[in-house]
Amino acid sequence: MKKIFSLLAISVLCCGGAHADYASLGGAMQIKSTPTTQTASSTPQYCGETTISFDGFQGPDDNEFLYTTQQAYESVKNNRDNGRVSGGKVYECDNEHCLHNHVQDMPAGHYFKGVKVNHAAKYRCVTGIEDKWVEITEGCEIDRVKLQVGDWYQNGSKRVALNVGRCEQFEQKVDDNGTEFNARCEKVNNEIKMVCHLVKCKKGMKVSGERCVTESNQVTKKTCSWQGNNIEVGSSYSQKLTYEQCKTITSTVDKNGTAFTLRCEDKNPNPQLKCYLSQCKSGMKKSGEKCVKDGDSQPQPQPQPEPQPDVPEFDCPASDIALLYQWRSKYSSESEIVSLIDQILAYCEDSSRTATEYNRRMSELRALINEQIQITLIQEQQTTSTSEITKIVKEIKSTNEQLQGDVTVWRDAEGDFNTARLASDSIAAVVLGTAGGLITSHVIKKNQVKNGFEDINCSIGGQTVAGWGDEFNVGIQ
């Protein structure tokens, strides 16, 4: 916040219109200055600049500054002391730049309070104890309660009841026979204002649309209900509907339409609401209940098809949507699966989506995921098998190395036959007291060689009949 103080030592009036008061304090003259105040009617001298200066504890994120672009904001934030704004402008709200009550339009992508604002917006400069920009939002205000377009005036969850006199303050004509009204913030002919809607009538009368009629007349009237409003057969709703509103009533409306009329029609057994095209997008014109390009030849009248029952709009199941995001995270490294998931999510936002096409795409995705699961399982099995084979090979190599070494259980460090092992095994065999043990002891004692068991054999009359490890039967008489 900046204030302008101007002093002049002798003059009664100070520079800039500030008034100087004189007071004697201990023989010294004191001059008191009243700050000059600029009004909303003043023309901003510097509203929208390419330079900026900070006072006191000001920073680039203060609500006193508006930046037209990200580059403008970052140029100030990254070089605060430089004061230069590049790639855009800064709008400063105070009594020297953008003045009190000045309204500034900002484009989409501007920066306010250090945050990027992706939509275009309007701001009003408010100066005083704190100089700041305040965003202007479209809406209504009643009894100090701010409402957005489409909001009812409510106390908690209950709509506030208004009388005729209160509704007439909104500059609209209401039925004088009404005793209770509800108010809603609405946009009428590009003007946003509070609109009263009839709720109750005087004794002996009932509500019919926005009018009170006698009970006898009311009995013979047929009406349609729309958002708490009763519309008589043959009558139209007073407000234009958007495409999004209208397609919930008549699913065949043209998406190129920008405004639709809602009418109550007498259909057996009950009256029904129907939307009719009122206005098309820019560059298009109304042709029957369709929008065509402006300049196209008038289409020849075509026979009207028989009315078909409305097909309910298909919505992708919420549980499937959650599952799709889980799969997308789980298979993030599989580009083909991720691509198909993204296509399905985009299709769920398509207004022309159908259950048949959605189910086809989901089946394709499930088949692809099952294929990936099989591939992963085979890879895991291959990894396990390779690990087991590697382990066995290591064990075989280790055994082979031990057999080829100089020292074994049958060979000592000098390479001689291990007689200690031979003696111990012979003693053990004798203790067992079996024929096998005796024969083993006899065979080993008669064939003490340097190379261990590899050279031990059994012979009869000098003729070898069995080598080490061979099995044979021996009888003892």
Q: Where are the beta strands (DSSP E) in 127-210?
A: 132-136, 140-142, 145-147, 154-155, 158-159, 178-188, 191-201, 205-208
Residue 228 vs residue 90, higher pLDDT = 90
Dihedral over alpha carbons 408, 413, 417, 418 (to 10 degrees): -70
Q: Which of 44-48, 74-78, 208-212 has the lowest mean pLDDT?
A: 44-48
Rounded CA gap, 190 and 185, in Å?
Answer: 13
Average pLDDT over residues 237-253: 81
Query: Peptide bond before 269: cis, by omega within 30 degrees of 0?
Result: yes
Contact in structure between 153 and 183 (CB atoms under 8 Å): yes
- pLDDT higher than threshold 70 for residue 461: yes
With 0-12 / 13-18 / 19 or more C-beta atoms within 10 angstroms meaning exposed / middle / buried, residue 203 is: exposed
Q: How confident is the model at residue 9 (pLDDT cuts 50, 70, 90)?
A: very low
Contact in structure between 86 and 72 (CB atoms under 8 Å): yes
Rounded CA gap, 422 and 433, in Å?
Answer: 17
pLDDT at 12: 30
Ranked by mean pLDDT, which of 2-16, 101-115, 284-298, 434-448 comes out on top? 101-115
- pLDDT higher than threshold 70 for residue 1: no
Q: Residues with Cβ < 8 Å from 100, sequence gap 6 or more?
A: 38, 39, 40, 125, 126, 127, 128
Dihedral over alpha carbons 371, 376, 377, 383 (to 10 degrees): 150
The pLDDT tens digits of the residues spanning 380-396 come to 777 777 777 888 878 77
Residue 443 vs residue 141, higher pLDDT = 141
The share of the chain scoring above pLDDT 90, in percent, equals 14
Q: Residues with Cβ < 8 Å from 169, sequence gap 6 or more?
A: none
pLDDT at 57: 78
pLDDT at 29: 32
Q: Look at residue 158 and give its three-state secondary structure.
A: strand
Dihedral over alpha carbons 128, 130, 133, 138 (to 10 degrees): -70
What angle is formed at CA 207 by the lines to CA 210 and CA 232, rounded to 5 degrees? 65
pLDDT at 257: 86
What angle is formed at CA 97 by the lines to CA 95 and CA 98, rounded to 5 degrees? 85
> What is the 8-class DSSP label of residue 453?
G
Contact in structure between 179 and 201 (CB atoms under 8 Å): yes
pLDDT at 227: 76
The pLDDT tens digits of the residues spanning 320-373 come to 888 888 888 888 888 889 899 999 988 888 888 898 999 999 999 999 898 888
pLDDT at 430: 47
Average pLDDT over residues 12-21: 35
Q: Which of 16-25, 70-79, 239-248 has the lowest mean pLDDT?
A: 16-25
Residue 409 vs residue 176, higher pLDDT = 176
Contact in structure between 146 and 155 (CB atoms under 8 Å): no
* E strand or H helix at 59: none
Using CA atoms, how far residue 176 sits from 61, 86, 196, 200, in Å, is: 54, 61, 12, 11
pLDDT at 125: 93
Average pLDDT over residues 17-37: 35
Number of alpha helices (DSSP H) and beta strands (DSSP E) in the chain:
9, 25
Contact in structure between 34 and 27 (CB atoms under 8 Å): no
Q: Which of 33-37, 45-49, 79-83, 419-423 has the lowest mean pLDDT?
A: 33-37
Rounded CA gap, 2 and 97, in Å?
Answer: 10
The pLDDT tens digits of the residues spanning 181-221 come to 999 988 887 788 889 999 999 988 999 888 899 887 544 56
The strands making up 103-106's β-sheet, listed across from edge to edge, are 103-106, 121-126, 132-136
Rounded CA gap, 458 and 110, in Å?
Answer: 103
The strand pairing partners of 154, in sequence order, are: 159
pTM of the model: 0.28
Average pLDDT over residues 115-126: 88
Average pLDDT for the chain = 75
Ranked by mean pLDDT, which of 289-298, 360-369, 397-406 comes out on top? 360-369
**Helix, strand, coil percentages in the chain from 3-state DSSP, rounded to 5:** 30, 30, 45
pLDDT at 50: 84
Rounded CA gap, 204 and 217, in Å?
Answer: 11
pLDDT at 224: 83
Q: How confident is the model at residue 91 (pLDDT cuts 50, 70, 90)?
A: very high
Residue 219, amino acid: V
pLDDT at 22: 34
Average pLDDT over residues 404-431: 56
Average pLDDT over residues 30-39: 36
